[in-house]
């Protein structure tokens, strides 16, 4: 008997746990059913309110359509194009300030001043709507910025990254009212940018230094050629290197290793090649990609603006329906409170 009582006592907590779990699942099931019922009620309430006020909904949709059409006819169509520039001298704020001055003149609609700055006629200047510049940032650089900006301990790394990152490629975005204004505009803008006195002086100094370095390397190359001829002559006459079996050649009172001489000659040759490459490619600013005229306006076609207007009207209609539902719900809630 005692054994049976102990068995019942041990099984009793398990039965109670099963009952509790059963109640829990029933409660969860009822909550899910109640949730979906609320969703369906809200949906049908929204649909009923929507169709009950179909006149207002239709009026808002028509209004949005008219606004879309009105925007198309009121705003002068403009076209967007971009060009890519590369420069070792124009960095960050320097190029940004030069272009911002042009963009401000464009926004003011001052075609005469813009024509004077770009050295073009006023008719063509009037076709330019805006000019903006932005650096071309690599994907890896963006990932590092996101990584360090989210890390609390990465502020120093972020500052160092921003400080030592030198963007050499930029993109100019231009909006024009007539795509014919894009013809030769890339060269015109480059010529305007190159007028910067600060950069022009830096370019002159850098190119002069490169020319001096090229001359110096040329003289060293001539000296090494003379040294190589002397070494060849000494080896042919069976100098000290031949008698002693050593790798060095005795020239005067000094011992010279031919391998070191030829390594130095190769190094000077590579340096001269690099200097000549920089002199040939290190222009003030280079056009990587020119402007391309596109046929579709950036401001949108008539059909696109109509679709945008219709969507805007539908969105405002939906907001209006939710406003009515909320207003009626608050009224019923206040009535219920007053009855209590």
pLDDT confidence of residue 89? 66
On whether both 248 and 265 belong to a single domain, the answer is yes
Same domain, 334 and 262: no
Say if residue 180 is in the same domain as residue 108.
Answer: yes
Confidence grade of residue 235 (pLDDT, cut at 50, 70, 90): low
In this structure, the number of other CB atoms found within 10 A of the CB of residue 85 comes to 22
Q: What share of the chain is helix, strand, coil (3-state, %, to 5)?
A: 70, 10, 20
Q: How many domains is the chain built from? A: 3
Cβ within 8 Å of residue 262, ≥6 positions away: 228
Residues 45 and 83 grouped into a single domain? no
* Same domain, yes or no: 152 and 292: yes
Top pLDDT among 236 and 319 is at 319
Average pLDDT, the chain: 77
Number of other CB atoms surrounding residue 22 within 10 Å: 10
Q: What average pLDDT score do residues 87-95 get? A: 66
pLDDT band at 281 (very low <50, low <70, confident <90, very high): low
Supply the pLDDT for residue 257. 72
Does the pLDDT at position 302 exceed 80?
yes
pLDDT band with cut points at 50, 70 and 90 for residue 195: confident
pLDDT digits (tens, 9 = 90+) for 201-219: 777 787 788 888 888 888 8
136-150, 196-210, 317-331, range with greatest mean pLDDT: 317-331
* Close Cβ partners of 217 (under 8 Å, ≥ 6 residues apart): 268, 271, 272, 275
Token pair of 230 as six digits: 């002397």
- What is the extent of the structural domain holding 8? 2-73+303-339
**pLDDT band, residue 154 (cuts 50/70/90):** low
User: Looking at the structure, do residues 6 and 108 belong to the same domain, yes or no?
Assistant: no
Percentage of residues in the chain having pLDDT higher than 90: 14
C-alpha dihedral (321, 325, 328, 333), degrees to nearest 10: -160
**pLDDT above 90 (res 174):** yes
Helix (H), strand (E), coil (C) string for 273-337 = HHHHHHHHHCCCCEEEECCCCCCCCCCCCHHHHHHHHHHHHHHHHHHHHHHHHHHHHHHHHHHHH
Do 19 and 120 lie in one domain? The reply is no
Residue whose C-alpha is closest to residue 195's, from 267, 111, 116? 116
Task: Tell me, yes or no, whether 98 and 191 share the same domain.
Answer: yes
Task: Give the SS3 label for residue 177.
Answer: coil
> What's the rounded mean pLDDT across residues 108-123?
90
d(CA 52, CA 56): 9
Q: What is the pLDDT of residue 96?
A: 77
CB–CB of 113/122 below 8 Å? no
214, 244: one domain: yes
Q: Is residue 3 very low, low, confident or very high in pLDDT (cuts 50, 70, 90)?
A: very low
Same structural domain, 89 and 187: yes
Whether residues 290 and 174 fall in one domain: yes
CB atoms within 10 A of CB 106: 22
Considering the domain architecture, whether residues 108 and 218 belong to the same structural domain is answered as no
pLDDT greater than 80 at residue 91: no
Sign of CA dihedral 228, 233, 238, 240: negative
User: Does 329 have pLDDT greater than 70?
Assistant: yes
23: enclosing H helix or E strand = helix 2-52
Fill in the DSSP letter of residue 249. Answer: E
């Amino acid at each position: 008997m005692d054994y049976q009582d102990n068995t019942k006592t041990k099984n009793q907590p398990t039965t109670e746990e099963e009952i509790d779990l059963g109640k829990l699942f029933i409660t969860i099931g009822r909550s899910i059913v109640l949730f979906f019922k609320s969703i369906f009620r809200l949906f049908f309430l929204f649909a009923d309110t929507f169709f009950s006020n179909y006149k207002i909904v239709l009026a808002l949709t028509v209004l949005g359509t008219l606004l879309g059409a009105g925007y198309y006819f009121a705003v002068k169509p403009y076209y967007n194009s971009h060009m890519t520039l590369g420069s070792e001298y124009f960095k960050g704020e320097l190029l940004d300030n030069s272009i911002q001055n042009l963009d401000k003149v464009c926004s003011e609609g001052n075609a005469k001043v813009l024509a004077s700055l770009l050295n073009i006629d006023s008719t063509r200047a009037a076709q330019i709507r805006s000019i903006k510049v932005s650096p071309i940032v690599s994907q890896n650089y963006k990932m590092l910025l996101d990584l360090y900006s989210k890390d609390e301990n990465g502020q120093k790394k972020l500052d160092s990254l921003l400080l030592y990152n030198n963007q050499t490629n930029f993109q100019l975005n231009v909006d024009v009212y007539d795509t014919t204004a894009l013809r030769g505009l890339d060269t015109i803008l480059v010529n305007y940018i190159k007028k910067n006195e600060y950069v022009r002086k830096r370019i002159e100094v850098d190119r002069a230094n490169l020319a001096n370095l090229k001359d110096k390397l040329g003289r060293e190359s001539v000296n090494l050629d003379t040294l190589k001829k002397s070494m060849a002559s000494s080896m042919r006459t069976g100098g000290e290197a031949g008698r002693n079996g050593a790798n060095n050649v005795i020239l005067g009172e000094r011992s010279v290793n031919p391998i070191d001489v030829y390594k130095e000659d190769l190094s000077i040759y590579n340096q001269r090649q690099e200097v000549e490459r920089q002199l040939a490619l290190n222009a003030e600013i280079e056009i990587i990609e020119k402007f391309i005229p596109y046929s579709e306006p950036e401001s949108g076609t008539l059909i696109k603006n109509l679709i945008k207007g219709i969507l805007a009207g539908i969105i405002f209609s939906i907001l209006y329906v939710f406003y009515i539902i909320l207003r009626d719900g608050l009224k019923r809630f206040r009535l219920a409170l007053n009855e209590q």
